[in-house]
């Protein structure tokens, strides 16, 4: 299993396949690079595809660290950029969902010249204080729980607890036609169940990078400061975290954005609608081929 050169002391595990225009795939929580086990082989037929484990996930490095310094969106973006440069990827399309979407947006905002396009699923900016409404708060309870030492005390290094906890999210956040297989859940329990692994994975939330903290702090930028990289957003029908009504203000944060609604699907973009996701990535590559 190849690993990147360290950035801030963290090496990223990654899979690379295919040849052609580059695509970098960023996973969500609670997942890892195997979230793209269907999508990556499809794209590799005509692209150079890199699927990676983010800091603190899968087979990438997990270090006890100040979450704000080492597991934030900016810190995760530094590692992604380091891998892009190390592999000499020429302006890849960045694709991601969940925390991978946030990290892709961070990379594009800070380094637009290094990114060809974004293909992302929620979360997106524009939620604002709607995140405090009663229904969202019933869904986002876990982000407050992850701030507590109790979260690690109850779950970290305890495979049975990891299995029950992760299984809840994979079941509750998915659409009506998707069920995670037991073998795939076994894999997640293996990588999240190692001592320290669960705690590393929730470093993202402890850094203040979760949707609640981000939404309350966000402010629409001046038009000249919007994310300039072309972005395609795939917004599913049955994501309980991010209702479609929250797509109404994303244009205030991007200069060039297209929002497409995906019917019948839930939160887990690369596994619930891999065909639509792959088609959007290929379209982004074709539209920017001369760029």
pLDDT 10s digits, 156-175: 999 999 999 999 999 999 99
Per the CB < 8 A criterion, the answer to whether 48 and 14 are in contact is: no
d(CA 25, CA 124): 17
Residue 273 sits at the vertex; the CA angle it makes with 51 and 238, to the nearest 5 degrees, is: 120
**Residue 124 · residue 232 · CB < 8 Å:** no
Whether 34 maps to a domain, the answer reads: yes
CATH number at residue 253: 3.40.50.1820
Q: Show the tokens assigned to 95.
A: 């694709």
Does some domain include residue 170? Answer: yes
Would strands 231-236 and 21-26 be described as parallel, antiparallel, or unpaired? unpaired
Q: Is the separation of the CB atoms in 189 and 159 below 8 Å?
A: yes
CA distances in angstroms from 58 to 37, 76, 131, 163, 263, listed in the order given? 14, 14, 29, 15, 30
Q: Domain total for the chain?
A: 1
The separation between CA 143 and the C-alpha centre of its own chain, rounded to angstroms, equals 16
- Residue 56 domain flag: yes
49 beta partners: 17, 23
Cα distance from N-terminal residue to C-terminal residue, the chain: 33
Kindly report whether the global pTM for this prediction surpasses the value 0.85: yes
Is 90 domain-assigned?
yes
Residue 279: inside a domain: yes
Phi/psi of residue 134, each to 5°? -55, -45
- Quick one: pLDDT at residue 289? 66
Tokens of 48: 């150079």
pLDDT digits (tens, 9 = 90+) for 5-53: 999 999 999 999 999 999 999 999 999 999 999 999 999 999 999 999 9
- Give me 63's structure tokens: 């270090």
Instruction: Let me know if residue 103 belongs to a domain.
Output: yes
Say if residues 251 and 132 touch (Cβ distance below 8 Å): no
Q: What is the pLDDT of residues 55-86, one digit of tens each?
A: 999 999 999 888 889 999 999 999 999 999 99
Which residues does residue 259 pair with via DSSP β-bridges, in sequence order?
233
Which domain does 88 fall in, by range?
A: 14-287
């Amino acid at each position: 299993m190849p690993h990147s050169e360290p950035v801030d002391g963290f090496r990223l595990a990654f899979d690379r396949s295919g040849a052609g225009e580059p695509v970098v795939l960023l996973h969500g929580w609670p997942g890892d690079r195997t979230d793209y086990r269907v999508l990556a082989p499809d794209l590799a037929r005509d692209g150079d595809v890199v699927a990676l484990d983010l800091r603190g996930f899968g087979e990438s490095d997990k270090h006890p660290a100040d979450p704000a310094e080492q597991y934030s969106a900016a810190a995760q973006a530094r590692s992604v950029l380091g891998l892009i440069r190390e592999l000499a990827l020429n302006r890849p399309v960045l694709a991601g969902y969940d925390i991978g979407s946030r990290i892709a947006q961070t990379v594009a905002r800070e380094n637009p010249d290094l990114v060809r396009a974004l293909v992302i699923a929620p979360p997106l900016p524009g939620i604002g204080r709607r995140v405090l409404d009663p229904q969202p708060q019933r869904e986002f309870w876990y982000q407050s729980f992850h701030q507590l030492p109790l979260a690690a005390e109850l779950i970290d290094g305890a495979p049975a607890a990891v299995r029950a906890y992760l299984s809840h999210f994979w079941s509750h956040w998915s659409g009506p036609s998707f069920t995670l297989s037991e073998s795939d859940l076994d894999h997640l329990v293996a990588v999240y169940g190692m001592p320290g692994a669960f705690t590393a994975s929730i470093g993202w939330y402890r850094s203040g990078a979760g949707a609640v903290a981000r939404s309350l702090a966000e402010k629409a930028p001046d038009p000249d400061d919007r994310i300039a990289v072309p972005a395609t957003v795939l917004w599913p029908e049955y994501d309980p975290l991010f209702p479609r009504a929250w797509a109404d203000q994303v244009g205030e944060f991007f200069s060039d954005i297209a929002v497409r609604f995906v019917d019948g699907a839930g939160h887990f973009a690369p596994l619930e609608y891999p065909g639509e996701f792959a088609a959007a990535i290929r379209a982004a590559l074709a539209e920017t081929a001369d760029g």
